[in-house]
């Protein structure tokens, strides 16, 4: 492959990835109908139960995987940490030797 073709492919991939970036959440730091704002611990719990809530959300509109009424980055960090814990993101299996 020549450099020009590779450059065009990389630019195309960059535009494809940038087009997948989500927009801002207008409900961050706003209370839900019960007056609650989800924080780190709620995010951790929601991340841990995310496989189950994902399956339930496929069949009902009353359950969602992610709480939009959250406090921002700490909720996101807890959610990713919880999802990583439950989905096996530790990488311990890659360090095993046969």
Give the model's pLDDT for residue 98. Answer: 56
Q: What is the DSSP-derived secondary structure letter of residue 92? A: G
Number of structural domains (the chain) is 1
Q: Residue 49: enclosing H or E segment and its boundaries?
A: none
Determine the longest span between alpha carbons in the chain, in angstroms. Answer: 59
**Residues shown for the chain:** 98
In a domain, 8, yes or no: no
In a domain, 63, yes or no: yes
CA distance 98 to 93: 11
In a domain, 32, yes or no: yes
pLDDT at 77 over 70: yes
| pLDDT tens per residue across span 25-75 | 888 888 988 899 999 999 999 999 999 999 999 999 888 899 999 998 999
Residue 38 domain boundaries: 25-89
Q: Where are the alpha helices (DSSP H) in 1-98?
A: 3-18, 40-48, 50-57, 73-86
Mean pLDDT of 17-25: 78
């Amino acid at each position: 492959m020549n450099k020009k073709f590779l450059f065009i492919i990389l630019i195309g991939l960059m535009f494809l990835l940038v087009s997948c970036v989500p927009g801002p959440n207008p409900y961050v730091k706003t209370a839900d109908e019960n007056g609650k704002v989800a924080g780190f611990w709620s995010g951790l719990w929601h991340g841990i139960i995310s496989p189950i809530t994902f399956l339930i959300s496929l069949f009902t509109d009353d359950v969602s995987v992610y709480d939009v009424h959250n406090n921002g980055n700490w909720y996101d960090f807890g959610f990713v940490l919880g999802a990583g814990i439950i989905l096996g993101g530790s990488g311990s299996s890659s360090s095993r030797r046969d």
